[in-house]
Amino acid sequence: MCSNRLQLNALKTKFIWCARTRRHHHITDCDVEVGHDSVHPVQSVRDLGVYVDGGMTMRGHINRVLSLSYGALRQITSDQIR
């Protein structure tokens, strides 16, 4: 990062540990030090609009898309009733 003159924004940076479900108990929840900043692990992250979790299941992304779809359908049906 330093050689490319990039600076880490620790408030916006997140990371996930990717492992199989049966291996999750081996993973620690400690922060990772990057330079002078520490980055906190999270259960799922959003990258380019896609939500991915540590098990690589995309369960969070599917739930988010379903929720938004049902909301849009409710708006369409309520507009037709009026």
The pTM (predicted TM-score) of the whole model is 0.56
Residue 6 domain-assigned?
no
Total domains, the chain: 1
As beta bridge partners, residue 47 has 50
Looking at the domain assignment, is residue 13 inside a domain? no
Any domain includes 76: yes
Q: Are strands 50-53 and 44-47 parallel, antiparallel or unpaired?
A: antiparallel
* Averaged confidence pLDDT in the chain: 82
Burial class from Cβ neighbours inside 10 Å (0-12, 13-18, 19+) for residue 13 reads middle
Q: What is the pLDDT of residues 46-76, one digit of tens each?
A: 888 888 887 778 888 899 899 999 988 888 8
Domain range enclosing 32: 21-81
Position 65 in a domain: yes
In this predicted structure, what is the pLDDT of residue 82?
65
CB 45 within 8 A of CB 51: yes
Phi, psi of 30 (to 5 degrees): -80, 155
Taking the C-alpha atoms of residue 78 and residue 54, their distance in angstroms, rounded to an integer, is 38
